[in-house]
Amino acid sequence: MASDKKFEPTNPTAKWVEDRLPILGLLYNSLGAGYSAPRNLNYWWNFGVLAGFMLVVQIVTGIVLAMHYVPHIDLAFDSVQHIRRDVNYGWLLQAIHANGASMFFIVVYIHILRGFYFGSYKAPREILWFLGIIIYLLMMATGFMGYVLPWGQMSFWGAKVITNLFSAFDFIPFIGDGIVEWLWGGFAVGQPTLNRFFSLHYLLPFVLVGVVILHIWALHIPGSTNPLGIEAKGPHDKIPFHPYYTAKDAFGLGVFIVFFSAFVFYMPDFLGHPDNYIKANPLVTPEHIVPEWYYLPFYAILRAIPEKLLGVVAMFSSILILFAMPWLDGSRIRSLRFRPLSKFFFWLFVVNGVFLGYLGQKAPDDIIALGITALGFAQFATTFYFAYFIVIMPLVSRMETTKPVPTSIAASVLEANKKGQ
């Protein structure tokens, strides 16, 4: 949503460049004063910028780490220790990259939930939503392959278990066992597997950059949503992105860096698994094989269904169902601020997702409460997860009584100012 203000450089060199390659005008209209945003955006809208920041951090640190990492099953584990102990500031780069993956997922999960709450998936922003889900899927693939690279116990066995899931489709010709052998590069996880994962882990972040550019482009066509969920009706509803939101984003980024630094400098191994500090041994299986924390809800869904094929289908469906949200939600009002019943079920959904993550790290036969095992609770939580999308959202969104929606963004802001005086 560009403003009427046209970019006209005053510097002769900048004007010469702009006449031949209007890159400065593009930046001005995308991130500067040439781009207008709703005047009521709050700090929940900072997380898109934080996600972009973390993508840059991961790419830069990853490129430097790749200069010292050795993708060989006999040397990979030792090369990571070499980076941490012998490379100048290697400990810092490795801690930033390892914890950066978790930080990246934290800000993206909050970014997605903000989209849930304020209806960012509704028309005319469906393509924007779809691209966001594709980014999330690419992140999951990249993160999984990166987790394998240190070649510790959890890396090796995690790779073996997760890639073996594709054998559930062995009844389909050329899929099933065929794709598992292709991923492994043989009949077991070994050197070809590590080569493939290292290559793809290095490649996919650049694919991610391309999809992020499309995501931002798709955002600029209809413009940003806002907490009220109503469209800007004129210049009185908008303000220039710069300097108002660049300053706000800079403050949010500063707070986030402090939070991120606490893990990097004081708890660099807090989010890792202890077994991954043991060199991979194909002859010794860890007591509990678990993925990184950001995959745990989906891992719990996978284990909740004892039948392998149905479990794998449920796990993938739990993400792919997000593509259907623009049509599952039948309400004409975007923001859950004005939809009390939908808001109630949304927060139940969030609590259920956190609970699934908790169950994902437990052994299936662990007793959680009231004599019920982790498997029993996971089956209940999985049922609610799918019921939220298939039953609750379609019915509640079409039947609930909503609150009055303000006539415009400016009217809402002015009313809030009057109440604050």
Could you tell me the residue ranges of all domains in the chain? 35-291
Confidence of residue 235 (pLDDT cuts 50, 70, 90): confident
Contact 409, 39 (CB under 8 A): yes
Residue 24 has pLDDT above 80, yes or no: yes
From the list 28, 42, 2, 34, the residue with the least C-alpha distance to 251 is 42
Mean pLDDT of 244-258: 96
Looking at domain 35-291, its CATH superfamily turns out to be: Cytochrome Bc1 Complex; Chain C (1.20.810.10)
Catalytic residue, chosen from 292, 335, 362, 397, is 292
Active site residue 292: yes
First to last CA, the chain: 32
Cα(280)–Cα(62) distance, rounded to whole angstroms? 22
Residue 364 has pLDDT above 70, yes or no: yes
Whole-model pTM over 0.85: yes
Q: Is the dihedral of CA 372, 374, 380, 381 positive or negative?
A: positive
Q: Which tokens sit at 319?
A: 């993400």
Active site residue 97: no
Mean pLDDT of 270-285: 93
Contact 159, 142 (CB under 8 A): no
3-state secondary structure of 85: helix
Which of 17-26, 190-199, 298-307, 309-318 shows the lowest mean pLDDT across its residues?
A: 17-26
Active site residue 249: yes
Residue 224 has pLDDT above 90, yes or no: yes
Q: Which tokens sit at 266?
A: 């004081």
DSSP element (H, E) containing 277? none
Contact 330, 391 (CB under 8 A): no
Q: What is the pLDDT of residues 371-386, one digit of tens each?
A: 999 999 999 999 999 9
Catalytic residue, chosen from 79, 102, 111, 249, is 249
Active site residue 233: no
Catalytic residue, chosen from 224, 331, 335, 412, is 224
Confidence of residue 418 (pLDDT cuts 50, 70, 90): low
How high does pLDDT run on average in the chain?
A: 93
Residue 4 has pLDDT above 70, yes or no: no
pLDDT of residue 8: 84
